[in-house]
Amino acid sequence: MILEMKVPSPGESIKEVEIATWLVKDGDYVEKDQAIAEVDSDKATLELPAEASGIITLKAEEGDAVAVGAVVCLIDTGATKPEGGVAPAKEEAKAVEAPKAEAPKAAPVAEKTYATQAPSPAARKILEEKNIEPSAIVGTGKGGRITKDDAVNAVPSMGTPTGGNRGTERTKLSMLRRKVAERLVSAKNETAMLTTFNEVDMSAIYAIRDQYKEEFKAKHGLGLGFMSFFTKAVTRALQLYPDVNSMIDGQEKISYDFCDISVAVSGPKGLMVPVMRNAETLSFRGVEAEIKRLALRARDGQITVDEMTGGTFTISNGGVFGSMLSTPIINPPQSGILGMHNVVDRAIVKNGQIVIAPVMYVALSYDHRIIDGRESVGFLVAVKEALENPAEILMGGNVKKALEL
């Protein structure tokens, strides 16, 4: 019996996927539920498991865009498992001696005509976009005319080489990467995005971590990082300034009484933004556990579309890569994103004295269509206040109880 394997729907709004990698070869014997391919959607990279055991015949190539519901492979469920797990190879055809190729004749030099190096209208538009002069292109069309394909394949001059390796490589962007790029450009073009900045003295958080991180790890098996403090500070600020936790839908504003916090993480397939549901209800231990779970799933390529769907606000930690300051881009349709950065010892003024303290710059990018300056600045100040006095504001004056120690 031949089983047709079709592309399952990864999510409600996804109409097609791209075959990123085949994990098996044509003619291999596969076991039921064995991962046979990695497919890219515009939201995540997912594994495609075999629906039955048998010998597989691939019906799509790597890089092909395949509609949801289309057949991507056939599985012969009646085939017996061969030794080694690979189907016997087909008998090779006898090699036929190829006729000796004649020495190539010199191509006749084409006479220059009015069409030589004259681009077609479509080619002219492409060359103008690439800022390439038609005189730099050798046309392959009739009479030396520059065709659309010539313009598409044209590469801008990189200057006169002076020695050394100058190789180039052109690879197709994954569907996920293309969607991320599209969304980032959309956010810049379709929102009135502004960024406001502040600085946070991290001394109090450092003191708590230094005192309790070993005990916290021994009891909960988790590290006590910055993200739990920032998540708690953000959910508190979102409740104080609900406009930052809102979205625009046409001519209406949608406000939420819960805080689903999207956390930007870097995975092997690029940027992913899984969501912590109802983060306002999580304890410090709960936040650290959820972030660890989502980060591991993103790293292993096991994150699901559902885990990245939704989110009312985003936290992005560029500090792990050493970023000192940035202007994070809003994650549509959300209205705000908080950017964390690296912690550096800086000279600050405390009680009239210049002292050295660990300082982090924080940035809030927000959609000015729905969030005014008062709300944006007030939100960021509320985050700063909570981070500089976490014991009182975030832990109710009882650090051990808040950390469940």
Indicate which CATH number applies to the domain containing 69.
2.40.50.100
For residues 7 and 69, give the distance between their C-alpha atoms in angstroms, rounded to a whole number: 5
Residues 121-130: b if buried by 16+ CB within 10 A, e if exposed: eebeebbeee
Residue 256 belongs to some domain of the structure: yes
Do residues 136 and 199 share a domain? Answer: no
- Assess whether pLDDT exceeds 80 at residue 118: no
Q: By the 8 A CB rule, do 358 and 202 touch?
A: yes
Residue 312 belongs to some domain of the structure: yes
Residue 105 belongs to some domain of the structure: no
Comparison of pLDDT for 153 and 257, the residue scoring more = 257
Do residues 76 and 213 share a domain? Answer: no
Do residues 247 and 346 share a domain? Answer: yes
Determine the pLDDT at residue 220: 92
Residue 206 belongs to some domain of the structure: yes
Determine the pLDDT at residue 89: 45
Do residues 269 and 347 share a domain? Answer: yes
Determine the pLDDT at residue 84: 58
Reported as a single tens digit per residue, the pLDDT across 193-250 is 999 999 999 999 999 999 999 999 999 999 998 999 999 999 999 999 999 999 998 8
pLDDT band at 77 (very low <50, low <70, confident <90, very high): confident
Residue 179 belongs to some domain of the structure: no
Which of 30, 56, 83 corresponds to the end of one domain? 83
Residue 358's CATH number: 3.30.559.10
Do residues 135 and 37 share a domain? Answer: no
Q: Which two tokens stand for residue 113?
A: 């005509």
Q: Which of 26, 149, 210, 368 is catalytic?
A: 368
- Assess whether pLDDT exceeds 60 at residue 401: yes
Q: Where are the strands (E) in 235-301, listed by range?
A: 246-249, 252-255, 261-267, 270-272, 275-276
Do residues 132 and 205 share a domain? Answer: no
The pTM (predicted TM-score) of the whole model is 0.68
- Assess whether pLDDT exceeds 80 at residue 392: yes
- 171: amino acid identity, one letter: T
**Average confidence (pLDDT) over 294-310:** 79
- Assess whether pLDDT exceeds 60 at residue 90: no
pLDDT band at 145 (very low <50, low <70, confident <90, very high): confident
For residues 295 and 316, give the distance between their C-alpha atoms in angstroms, rounded to a whole number: 13
Determine the pLDDT at residue 180: 72
Residue carrying the six token digits 């700063």: 384
Q: Which of 26, 33, 300, 372 is catalytic?
A: 372
For residues 206 and 222, give the distance between their C-alpha atoms in angstroms, rounded to a whole number: 17
Residues 372-405: b if buried by 16+ CB within 10 A, e if exposed: eeebbebbbebbbbbbbebeebbbeeebeebbee
- Assess whether pLDDT exceeds 70 at residue 54: yes
Active site (annotated) includes residue 372: yes
Q: How buried is 112 (Cβ within 10 angstroms: 0-12 exposed, 13-18 middle, 19+ buried)?
A: exposed
- Assess whether pLDDT exceeds 60 at residue 108: no
Do residues 130 and 272 share a domain? Answer: no
Do residues 126 and 7 share a domain? Answer: no
Q: Look at 93-107, 191-205, 282-296, 385-399 and tell me which has the smallest mean pLDDT.
A: 93-107
Do residues 143 and 198 share a domain? Answer: no
Which of 65, 83, 101 corresponds to the end of one domain? 83
Full domain range(s) for residue 142 = 121-150
Domain count for the chain, please give it: 3
Active site (annotated) includes residue 341: no
- 282: amino acid identity, one letter: L
Q: By the 8 A CB rule, do 253 and 370 touch?
A: yes
Do residues 197 and 316 share a domain? Answer: yes
Residue 171 belongs to some domain of the structure: no
Determine the pLDDT at residue 270: 65
Residue 305 belongs to some domain of the structure: yes
Do residues 373 and 242 share a domain? Answer: yes
Do residues 282 and 393 share a domain? Answer: yes
Residue 39 belongs to some domain of the structure: yes
